[in-house]
Amino acid sequence: MKKKEIKKLAKKYGVSPEAVQVLADALQRGNLTMAQFNHPELGGSGQWMQGGMLMIGDMFNNNLKATVNNLCLELATALTNQPVEVEQVSGQNQWQSSDGTPEPAKSSKGKSKAKASKSSGSTMGTMSFQPMASGNWWPADFGSPNSSGGQNNMRYAYFAGTRRLVIEANGKTTIYDTGDHQIGGVSQQQSGSQTLTFTSQHGQVPVSDLKVVSSK
């Protein structure tokens, strides 16, 4: 994107041009449908996916979540309408789509960028979110999730149509009834208890408040 557009968005959302550029680069690597980023003004390490899933290190800052989400949406729209440079295309190779589409062969530039991203996340000591690997681990009859993600030894998939939230933790898969919740993201507290919470129109809610449909 042009520096003029970057500065305009930075002023609109109250963040630095550097923070906007970090999100723009992350979106280009994620084929404009997802972004994995790490910047203090964006809540530290986080992940955004088209469809409503957003996780940031500052998990209880709902105002910042709204800012990051709206900025990602506006950036994705703006970037869709402009050509993508060759170097940026190579960076897409490090991503795996949430619907299980196989990733293309990695170029040397794509590999170096992937390593740099991982190194940056570990240096900051913040949460590290990963896109889902290929292959569906949730029940086949659920179809494609509206959002999915993973962190450490936990991963989740949310299905709005069937009102189901599937969480796999330590090899155990639990299916929850989401009721009237419209889930916008699931996050894991950085503690020994590994407490999971999600964001919906009712605010921040512990996953344990949901009704368990099955667990195995």
- CA–CA distances in Å: residue 172 to residues 121, 131, 193: 27, 19, 16
pLDDT at position 82 is 67
Is-above-0.85 flag for pTM? no
pLDDT at position 153 is 74
Residue extents of the structural domains in the chain = 3-129, 136-215
pLDDT at position 53 is 80
b/e burial code for range 117-146 (CB count within 10 A of at least 16 → b): beeebeeeebbbbebbeeeeebeeebeebb
- CA–CA distances in Å: residue 7 to residues 1, 75, 80, 87: 10, 12, 18, 23
pLDDT at position 135 is 60
For 28, counting Cβ atoms within 10 Å of its Cβ (0-12 exposed, 13-18 middle, 19+ buried), the class is buried
- CA–CA distances in Å: residue 24 to residues 32, 125, 169, 209: 9, 23, 32, 36
Which residues, in sequence order, are CB contacts of 19 under 8 Å at separation 6+?
10, 39, 41, 42
b/e burial code for range 88-101 (CB count within 10 A of at least 16 → b): bbbbbbbbbbbeee
pLDDT at position 198 is 75
Cβ–Cβ under 8 Å, residues 80 and 16: no
Q: Render each residue's pLDDT in the chain as its tens digit; 216 residues.
A: 788 999 999 999 999 999 999 999 988 888 888 888 999 999 888 888 877 788 888 878 888 988 998 999 899 888 887 654 433 333 333 333 344 444 444 444 444 443 333 333 333 333 433 444 446 788 888 888 877 777 667 788 888 889 999 988 888 899 999 998 877 667 765 554 556 777 777 777 888 889 999 988
